[in-house]
Amino acid sequence: MQVTELAAEGLKRAFTVVVPAADIAAARDQRLTSLAKDIRLPGFRPGKVPMGVVKQRYGSAIMGEVLEEQVQSATKNVVDERGLRPAMQPKVELVNFAEGADLEFKIELEQLPEIPLPDFSTIELEKPVAKVGDEEVTKALEGIAARNRDLEDVTEARPAATGDVVVTDFVGRLVEAGENLLNLGEPGNISVFSHGSVAEKPSLEVVGSGSENGAAWAEVKLKGDYSGNGQLGLLLVPQREFPARSGESFLAEGAYSLTGGAWPAGASLVFDMVERDASLRVLRNNQTPLEEPGAESRSFSAQVKLEGGDEVVIAAPILRVMIKEAASVELTLRLQGLRVARQDGAGKLSEPFPGGSGSDMPVEIGGSGFIPGFAEGLEGIQIGETRHVDVTFPPEYGAAELAGKPARFELTAKALKKPAQAQLDDAFAKKLGLESLDELKKRIGESLQGEYDQLSRLNVKRKLLDALSSQASFEVPQSMVEMEFAQIWQRVEADMKAGRLDEEDKGKDEEALKADYRAIAERRIRLGLLLSEIGRSNNIQVSNDELSRAMRTEAQRYPGQERQVLEFFQKNPQAIENLRAPLFEEKVVDFMLELAKVTEKDVPAAELSAEPQA
């Protein structure tokens, strides 16, 4: 075998390997001879099949296996003989092979760097610690009492108030859209205006329009210089307004995204339905704040009821870019599927949708866990009263057929209850399975202290990793960085699509976001390699008993399925390795904290979860 080194730059290595044709032929013939002893073919006695017949029937398959074995064996020899430690599986590229010719292939790899170990005794850390006080135990106890309180009937005749529980029957129906009063497919149907300090009249250009999946779309480019406290407005109908009257209801919905330029700092996007009289005087604004546009499409839905009085004769749908700070605005918005539909009275209602009806449902006024506006809509209701509550399902709602759509619920109040005052005594503790109130308080204190201790450890661990990161400057394999970045970016893209980006990431363009998260990926890889080297150098290992305890702990998270979870781990070694990695990391962290200079500092519990100061 002939090996030629092609590249040795940084951590990258590249080789060409040539395996003589004679070696390949010998390996193939040996495999064929062994096979001939065992195969059975019609017309031949066992072990007496002529070699020519064996080659004809099995030669190609055997050659494929031999080539794969030769490549794997040669690659291993190249790595082992040179003492290389590949960061990832070497990349192998076949250069040349033909029957009777030498096998030539190329190996490319990145090796793990030489990692200098830090002097742990020079690392000084401050560990915040907190002790549980009587006040925290009392607050937690009151919370437990609130979650376990009984309900009692409200005996006096009064409307439901916040904190009350209404027992209700309800039926939900979707509000179906009427005829769309907009037409984005025609560029002339959009015009621009501005308010506030602007150097020159803002420009508007419809750079594209059409239809996609049955929904009209338009891309609008806006440009203007503002000194602050201004706005750009997009009128979405060609005649500026359409006839309307007070009391009418409209459904506005659609999607939008930022396809060019940058969103002005501090700016906001608002959909507004403006009510005007015959002289075009503004009588009332009906504004719905929208999420800041991003690269991913965002949808909105709003029900608007005109309530400007008898003088209302027209309404105008406007998309407003509200500008609070001085800015040079240059951006392109893509508007898709925008529609403003006049409703008949309250809007045409669908048949009751599946899962939208119920009986004797307890609903806490102001409570959580319901569609926004559902529980709040029952405030003030009386027993026996039937009420309509209009809501809009959130865009991220679990049922796709309901997500982002307006609905109307018809609710009838059957009973009104209020939480009974819980008596914090031994009887209450026994309801929770404990012997006395003192034992309950003790358990609460122990649980809270466990949470505080965990937060304290997380805090000092972050400080330790920051200290290690500041000292570590060795080169890292870019292939590992790219793989880590790809996993991170996949999650970021999902968050962008769902509108879950962190506040500090909103407003950044994709290039800036990628640079930030690639730096995070590189830091993670560098720290991971450093921790691994510290563990290897100090013979830190995860025992089988520790792994078994971790598997049992994981299985306990799935009551009733413990046996299946344990069987899954037994059949999937990679799943066990996924448990081993965090155990190994924690043991390495424990090792370093024992050697570092750690000083404890008493702090209020609220400071335990604060980010460590640089």
Look at 599 and 251; give whichever has higher pLDDT: 599
The two tokens of residue 179 are 């005829």
Alpha carbon of residue 309 to chain centroid: 45
C-alpha 13/C-alpha 477 separation (Å) is 11
Percent over 70 (pLDDT), the chain: 91
* Among 233, 234, 244, CA closest to 184: 234
Contacts 24+ apart (CB under 8 A), 77-81: 77/1, 78/3, 78/15, 78/17, 78/107, 79/109
pLDDT per residue as tens digits for the range 145-171: 888 878 888 888 899 998 889 999 999
Strands lying side by side in the sheet with 103-110:
2-9, 12-19, 103-110, 91-96
Mean pLDDT of 71-86: 92
pLDDT per residue as tens digits for the range 490-519: 988 888 877 778 888 877 888 889 999 999
Task: State the maximum Cα–Cα separation within the chain, in Å, rounded to a whole number.
Answer: 107
* Among 285, 259, 261, 260, CA closest to 271: 285
Q: Which helix (H) or strand (E) holds 26?
A: helix 21-36
Q: Residue 141: which pLDDT band, with cuts at 50, 70 and 90?
A: very high
Q: Contact at 8 Å (CB) between 277 and 313?
A: yes
Distances (CA, A) of 473 to 116, 117, 524, 527: 9, 11, 13, 10
Q: Contact at 8 Å (CB) between 240 and 358?
A: no
Domains, the chain, ranges and CATH? 2-110 (3.30.70.1050), 152-176+348-419 (3.10.50.40), 187-343 (2.60.120.260), 437-607 (1.10.3120.10)
Q: Provide CB contacts within 8 A for 141, sequence distance 6+.
A: 424, 440, 441, 444
pLDDT per residue as tens digits for the range 248-286: 888 888 888 888 888 887 788 888 888 988 888 889 988
* 4-29 core/surface letters (b: 16 or more CB in 10 A; e: else): eeeeeeebebbbebbbeeeebeebbe
Distances (CA, A) of 521 to 69, 456, 527, 561, 589: 35, 25, 10, 36, 20
Q: Taking the CA of residue 194 as centre, how many other CA atoms within 13 Å lie in the half-sphere pointing to its CB?
A: 21
Beta bridge partners of 260: 332
What pLDDT score does 344 carry? 56
Q: Residue 614: which pLDDT band, with cuts at 50, 70 and 90?
A: very low
Q: Residue 346: which pLDDT band, with cuts at 50, 70 and 90?
A: very low
Phi and psi, residue 349, nearest 5°: -100, 145
C-alpha 243/C-alpha 36 separation (Å) is 91
* Among 391, 439, 437, 432, CA closest to 411: 391
Question: Does 127 score more than 60 pLDDT?
Answer: yes
Label residue 264 exposed, middle or buried (CB < 10 Å: 0-12, 13-18, 19+).
buried
What pLDDT score does 200 carry? 58
Count other Cβ atoms within 10 Å, centred on residue 94: 11
Q: Contact at 8 Å (CB) between 385 and 392?
A: no
C-alpha 324/C-alpha 392 separation (Å) is 29
Q: Provide CB contacts within 8 A for 403, sequence distance 6+.
A: 393, 394, 395, 396, 397
Mean pLDDT of 361-367: 88
Q: Contact at 8 Å (CB) between 319 and 236?
A: yes
In 123-267 the beta strands, taken as DSSP E runs, fall at 124-129, 151-153, 165-176, 191-195, 203-212, 215-226, 230-235, 242-243, 249-261
Q: Mark residue 254 as left, alpha or beta (left: phi above 0; alpha: psi -120 to 50; beta: remaining).
A: left
Local structure of residue 77 (DSSP, 8 states): H
Local structure of residue 5 (DSSP, 8 states): E
Q: Contact at 8 Å (CB) between 424 and 141?
A: yes
Q: Provide CB contacts within 8 A for 92, sequence distance 6+.
A: 71, 75, 105, 106, 107
Question: Does 213 score more than 70 pLDDT?
Answer: no
Q: Provide CB contacts within 8 A for 391, sequence distance 6+.
A: 371, 372, 373, 374, 377, 406, 407, 408, 409
C-alpha 603/C-alpha 592 separation (Å) is 23
Count other Cβ atoms within 10 Å, centred on residue 454: 11
Cα-Cα end-to-end distance for the chain:
55
Distances (CA, A) of 7 to 80, 83, 108, 598: 18, 16, 9, 45
In 498-562 the beta strands, taken as DSSP E runs, fall at none
pLDDT per residue as tens digits for the range 25-39: 898 888 888 877 777
Local structure of residue 86 (DSSP, 8 states): B
In 10-83 the beta strands, taken as DSSP E runs, fall at 12-19
C-alpha 281/C-alpha 598 separation (Å) is 70
Phi and psi, residue 153, nearest 5°: -65, 140
Q: Residue 395: which pLDDT band, with cuts at 50, 70 and 90?
A: confident
What pLDDT score does 170 carry? 93
Label residue 109 exposed, middle or buried (CB < 10 Å: 0-12, 13-18, 19+).
buried
Look at 303 and 106; give whichever has higher pLDDT: 106
C-alpha 19/C-alpha 531 separation (Å) is 39
Q: Which of 214-223, 359-368, 523-532, 569-578 has the highest mean pLDDT?
A: 523-532
Mean per-residue pLDDT over the chain, rounded: 85
Q: Contact at 8 Å (CB) between 350 and 177?
A: no
Q: What angle do CA 75, 81, 84 make, to 5 degrees?
A: 75
Q: Residue 593: which pLDDT band, with cuts at 50, 70 and 90?
A: very high
